[in-house]
Copies of this chain bind each other. A is one copy, B any other.
Amino acid sequence: MEKINWDERGIIPVVVQDHETRDVVMLAYMNEEAFNLTVRTGTMHYYSRSRKTLWLKGETSGHTQKVKNLYLDCDNDAILAVVDQKVAACHTGYWSCFYRVLDGTWKVVGRKVFDEKEVYK
């Protein structure tokens, strides 16, 4: 398989797009273990830079992401994952992590779909 260019930290940024709505819902990172688990299981796994651990998206919330397709960019240093997003991508309760638009200030325009206090108790 053509080599992924892992960066100096051994990770690669992953753009996540919902298959049905075609919304970009988040950006996260994978290390090689997360990538291999994602391919093997068909469910998105990431590497948390802050916690320095492998992370199954939706492990706590149930808001998992089923892989439809994985794409690699021209420089081999970014991945695009097209997924079936369950419920919402963002831990804040918004459908997409990109819920604020620049309009003088960053203004909330995203769709809130769950109460994060009820999901993460």
Q: Does A26 contact B (CB under 8 A)?
A: yes
Give the residue of B22, B39, B94 whose beta carbon is less than 8 angstroms from that of A22: B22
Interface string of A1-33 (1 = CB under 8 A from B): 110000000000101010000101011000000
Q: A15-B24, A15-B27 are in contact. Are A78 and B102 (CB under 8 A)?
A: no
Nearest residue in B to A13 (C-beta to C-beta)? B13
Q: How far is the CA of A70 from the CA of B102 in the complex (A)?
A: 6
Q: Interface residue tally of chain A, by bracket? A: 20 to 34
CB A34 to nearest CB in B, in angstroms, measures 14
B27 close to A13 (CB less than 8 A)? yes
Q: Does A97 contact B (CB under 8 A)?
A: yes
B78 close to A99 (CB less than 8 A)? no
Q: Does A111 contact B (CB under 8 A)?
A: no
Q: How far is the CA of A1 from the CA of B104 in the complex (A)?
A: 8
Residues of B within 8 A of A24 (CB): 15, 17, 24, 80
B27 close to A72 (CB less than 8 A)? no
Interface string of A66-110 (1 = CB under 8 A from B): 000111111100101000000000111010011111101110000
Residues of B within 8 A of A22 (CB): 22
